[in-house]
Copies of this chain bind each other. A is one copy, B any other.
Amino acid sequence: MTGPAPLTEIWRGPMAESRHTGHAVICDGSGEIVEAWGNPAEAVYPRSSAKMIQALPLIESGAAGAYGLTAEQLALACASHNGAAIHTDRVKAWLADLGLGDDDFRCGPQVPDDDAARFALIRAYEAPCQVHNNCSGKHAGFLTLAQHLGAGPEYVEPDHPVQKACLAAFEEVTGEESPGYGIDGCSAPNFITSLHGMARAMARFACAEDGKDARQSAQHRLWQAMVAHPELVAGEGRACTELMRACSEPVALKTGAEGFFIAILPSRQMGIALKITDGATRAAECTIAALLVRLGVLDPGHPAARARLNAPIRNRRGIETGRIVPDAGLL
């Protein structure tokens, strides 16, 4: 079995101070590996990189149609957002459309990453709500599906119809039986697959034809929603948002906790999945940027690329003290 490959180094002065290894797979539309680093068979939790898979039952069940969900709502269902007003205002309105409130969520409260939203809460001496949780769009989708199915309120339980539908979709698009699950930061099950399985799933999204069948139409609609609303998928300054805007063709990008990243490349009919062994976001962002450059969809001179690829590390006086450097094997 292949071990993890070197992917990113953190340089300071004359030497690398820290090093990140991991696994990365690029798949084509047939699900075959085009290129890989490390071990494609590595068992992984895709974490939030699986959100567009978790959103498939929302569309395929007819719920999205019945509730008239917009592309903005579908982008939020796939999002790990910053909890900025552009995110929470839309999720609150969605909840209101369902006749539900913050207490109906099961994701738990989270301090928003967005400075303005966080500062406003602190200045008002208010605690964050569940709508501020970076996964609140996904959970609004879960609640919509649960209501459409007439299912109970505990929609994150693994035996709830919502999660059973998510598992079925997950195993179908990865092409693998999931050997188990962990509980995610937002309390939903997060299913295990191989990294190859996850890259295969992303390639299937990339190849999906609108109108072909319910699955492909849903996949097509979801990546289009992500690409149309990059600011809703993450937030200003975030890698997913900035890199989706920077790509020279439509590419859907999604980070996941613990150093996960995926890409859906419809024009190339390819999918990418990668996992940093130690879980570091800085290395996942550098690695996905390097692979997008490698595939010719990202200009390495674009500011969004330069902020992740050979990005300067600056200290508290703004002095450059080091760089985040992709491994030569990625270039």
Q: Please give the residue numbers on chain A whose beta carbons come within 8 Å of chain B beta carbons, in ascending order.
A: 10, 12-15, 17-20, 43-45, 106-110, 119, 122-123, 133, 179-187, 190, 192, 258-259, 276-280, 283, 315-319, 321-322
Question: Quick check: A18 and B192 within 8 Å, CB to CB?
Answer: no
Question: Quick check: B18 and A187 within 8 Å, CB to CB?
Answer: no
Provide the main secondary structure of the chain A interface. Answer: loop
Question: Quick check: A108 and B258 within 8 Å, CB to CB?
Answer: no
Shortest Cβ-Cβ A-B pairs, 4 listed = A108-B316, A13-B182, A18-B279, A12-B182
A166 to chain B, nearest CB (A): 15
Note all chain B residues with C-beta closer than 8 A to A317: 106-108, 187
Note all chain B residues with C-beta closer than 8 A to A276: 18
Question: Quick check: A13 and B119 within 8 Å, CB to CB?
Answer: no
Question: Quick check: B183 and A315 within 8 Å, CB to CB?
Answer: yes
A14 interface neighbour in B20, B107, B182, Cβ under 8 Å: B182
Note all chain B residues with C-beta closer than 8 A to A316: 107-110, 133, 185-187
**Could you tell me the distance between the alpha carbons of A179 and B180 in the complex, rounded to whole angstroms?**
49
Note all chain B residues with C-beta closer than 8 A to A180: 13-15
**Could you tell me the distance between the alpha carbons of A279 and B190 in the complex, rounded to whole angstroms?**
26
A183 to chain B, nearest CB (A): 5
A187 to chain B, nearest CB (A): 5
Q: List 25 A-B contacts (CB under 8 A).
A: A10-B279, A12-B45, A12-B190, A13-B180, A13-B192, A14-B179, A14-B180, A15-B182, A17-B45, A17-B279, A18-B259, A19-B278, A107-B316, A108-B315, A108-B317, A108-B318, A119-B122, A122-B122, A133-B316, A182-B321, A185-B316, A187-B319, A278-B278, A278-B280, A279-B280
Question: Quick check: A13 and B321 within 8 Å, CB to CB?
Answer: no
Note all chain B residues with C-beta closer than 8 A to A280: 278-280
Question: Quick check: B181 and A13 within 8 Å, CB to CB?
Answer: yes
A192 interface neighbour in B15, B185, B321, Cβ under 8 Å: B15
A17 interface neighbour in B107, B258, B318, Cβ under 8 Å: B258
A315 interface neighbour in B10, B44, B185, B192, Cβ under 8 Å: B185
Question: Quick check: B187 and A315 within 8 Å, CB to CB?
Answer: yes
Closest B residue to A106 by CB, please name it.
B317
Note all chain B residues with C-beta closer than 8 A to A110: 316
**Could you tell me the distance between the alpha carbons of A12 and B106 in the complex, rounded to whole angstroms?**
19
Note all chain B residues with C-beta closer than 8 A to A183: 12-13, 315, 319, 321
Closest B residue to A107 by CB, please name it.
B316
Note all chain B residues with C-beta closer than 8 A to A122: 119, 122-123
Note all chain B residues with C-beta closer than 8 A to A107: 316-317
A16 to chain B, nearest CB (A): 9
**Could you tell me the distance between the alpha carbons of A135 and B254 in the complex, rounded to whole angstroms?**
36
Note all chain B residues with C-beta closer than 8 A to A15: 43, 180, 182, 192
Note all chain B residues with C-beta closer than 8 A to A108: 315-318
Closest B residue to A108 by CB, please name it.
B316
